[in-house]
Amino acid sequence: MNPRRFPRRARATSAFLTSLFAGLYFLPASANETLKNLPADSWYQAPGTKMRAVCASETEFPTIRGSGGCHNVIDAWGGGAYDAGRKRLWVWGGGHQDYFGNELYAFDMETLKWARITDPSAITTDKLSADPLPDGNPISRHTYDGLAFIGPADRLFAFGGSMAGNGYGTSVTWVFDPVAGKWSNRVPSGQANVPATACCNFTAEYDGFTKKVYMRDPNWISAYDFEANAWTHIREWSHSWGPGKAVIDGKRHLLFTLGSEEFLVYDLAKQSDVSAEWKSTGGDSLLAGYGVGAAYDAKTDRLVGWTGGGVYAMDLQTKVWKRMSGAGAPAKPALSGTFGRFRYDAEDNVFALVNGVDEDVWFYKLSAGSNTGLRAPARLAPPQAKVGGPLRAVDGRARRAALSLIRFPRSLSRSLPRN
């Protein structure tokens, strides 16, 4: 650049603004390029991504082991939830004599690194069936499909599960604040309307259209409204006894629940059971699965499920399932199912699968490319990790958004660095 064509005052302003935004603007580009560029119908296992590296130490926390230790965070009916704003897959589990630690884990989809977000509570044998614990935190439990992420509230939601001691269910409504790093017992109104089965066979997912978490147990559909801090019973809706997975189709405002020999569909807009209109073909093996993983693929408009080997993808127009390639895929799910540990990231158009603490994290791409038409929410502040990381706070979109708020002179804007 010729300095004579760029006045001294403008150069000084440019230097000031560049300094002002340096910490924001020069962070690495958003989204992991490896995941963006995976070919269609392919699997990838990211090296060096075993959760074991950040497991709580049994030496430091000697009362947490239970019958098997950290691997039971996943293997003992452990679930997960996806935080699109941070591109983070949350994992929480343990419970019913298998593992007593109640610590929370998160996998970052950009850095491809694990972090342990909280440490285990001090636990004594007489408190293994207490929820909350004396320190105000939740007891360890099998989480099944009882986790969801409430994006607008920026909270991880948890309900029910088989408690660490006696294995009974718990009806406490928990949320975790990722920024404060703290759990909160919500003590909501309408407590009589919580899911009737607080232990095991329920499904949960957050719907952005109605701004509620919907849970199905063997008798009811119930809904939790975070803003109102209240539960309501939506309707009676009996189904078989068995763990399943909830999926929200935001395009059609449908709640799918699948697995354990069932495929049920509820219309959230019309508040009606429309299962009779959704008789599908080709997916019997998936739908018979125990604790299957499933998610909605926004780019291809497919419902995608996994229970080992290749995924099943259902065309939501024809209602036909298609078995995709199993080349390079994990052959079988974790010991007690997958639940919410199979999740779809809309921005990078990729599925993530956490299948065990001693397995590297798996990724699957149904269609090539990223999803430029679907933006994740603005990147949120990261939780403070106890172990692992690094965890990032902002991405390229957030940097550009911040700069766009300032009206630069044309000559000055040409001088600013690009990424």
pLDDT band at 269 (very low <50, low <70, confident <90, very high): very high
Q: Is residue 105 part of a domain?
A: yes
Judge whether residue 29 has pLDDT over 50.
no
> What is residue 332's predicted lDDT score, i.e. its pLDDT?
97
> What is residue 391's predicted lDDT score, i.e. its pLDDT?
52
Nearest to 362 by CA among 94, 28, 29, 51: 51
List the structure tokens of 352.
């993530």
Alpha-carbon span 56 to 402, nearest angstrom: 38
Alpha-carbon span 349 to 366, nearest angstrom: 8
Mean pLDDT of all residues belonging to the chain: 85
Judge whether residue 198 has pLDDT over 90.
no
Domain range spanning residue 99?
34-400
> What is residue 227's predicted lDDT score, i.e. its pLDDT?
97
CATH label of the domain that carries residue 98: 2.120.10.80
Q: Is residue 316 part of a domain?
A: yes
CA distances in angstroms from 18 to 7, 34, 277, 416, listed in the order given: 16, 30, 57, 7
Report cis status (omega within 30 of 0) of the bond before 218: no
> What is residue 14's predicted lDDT score, i.e. its pLDDT?
41
Q: Is residue 7 part of a domain?
A: no
pLDDT band at 381 (very low <50, low <70, confident <90, very high): low
Judge whether residue 291 has pLDDT over 50.
yes
Task: Give residue-wise pLDDT tens across range 55-74.
Answer: 999 999 999 999 999 999 99
Task: Give residue-wise pLDDT tens across range 143-168.
Answer: 999 999 999 999 999 999 999 999 99
pLDDT band at 286 (very low <50, low <70, confident <90, very high): very high
Q: Is residue 9 part of a domain?
A: no
Q: Is residue 28 part of a domain?
A: no
> What is residue 223's predicted lDDT score, i.e. its pLDDT?
97
Judge whether residue 351 has pLDDT over 80.
yes
In total, the chain counts a number of residues equal to 419
pLDDT band at 304 (very low <50, low <70, confident <90, very high): very high
3-state secondary structure of 8: helix
pLDDT band at 374 (very low <50, low <70, confident <90, very high): low
Percent above pLDDT 90 for the chain: 74
Q: Please, what is the Cα angle at 208 between 205 and 209, to 5 degrees?
A: 115
Judge whether residue 199 has pLDDT over 50.
yes
> What is residue 382's predicted lDDT score, i.e. its pLDDT?
63
> Of 50-59, 280-289, 305-314, 408-417, which range is least confident?
408-417
Nearest to 236 by CA among 259, 212, 249, 217: 217
3-state secondary structure of 247: strand
Question: Model-level pTM?
Answer: 0.85
Q: Tokens 């947490």 map to which residue? A: 64
> What is residue 239's predicted lDDT score, i.e. its pLDDT?
74
Alpha-carbon span 251 to 296, nearest angstrom: 10
342-345 long-range CB contacts below 8 Å, 24 or more apart? Answer: 342/293, 342/294, 342/295, 342/306, 343/80, 343/81, 343/82, 343/89, 343/295, 344/82, 344/295, 344/296, 344/297, 344/298, 344/304, 345/35, 345/82, 345/84, 345/87, 345/109, 345/376
Q: Is residue 418 part of a domain?
A: no
Judge whether residue 416 has pLDDT over 80.
no
pLDDT band at 387 (very low <50, low <70, confident <90, very high): confident
Task: Give residue-wise pLDDT tens across range 85-144.
Answer: 999 999 999 999 999 999 999 999 999 999 999 999 999 999 999 999 999 999 999 999
Rounded (10°) CA dihedral 115, 77, 237, 251: 40
* Of 146 and 239, more confident: 146
| pLDDT, mean of residues 30-43 | 86
Are the C-beta atoms of residues 272 and 287 closer than 8 Å to each other? no
Q: Is residue 174 part of a domain?
A: yes
| pLDDT, mean of residues 361-375 | 86
Per the structure, the count of domains in the chain is: 1
Judge whether residue 19 has pLDDT over 80.
no
Q: Is residue 408 part of a domain?
A: no
* Of 19 and 117, more confident: 117
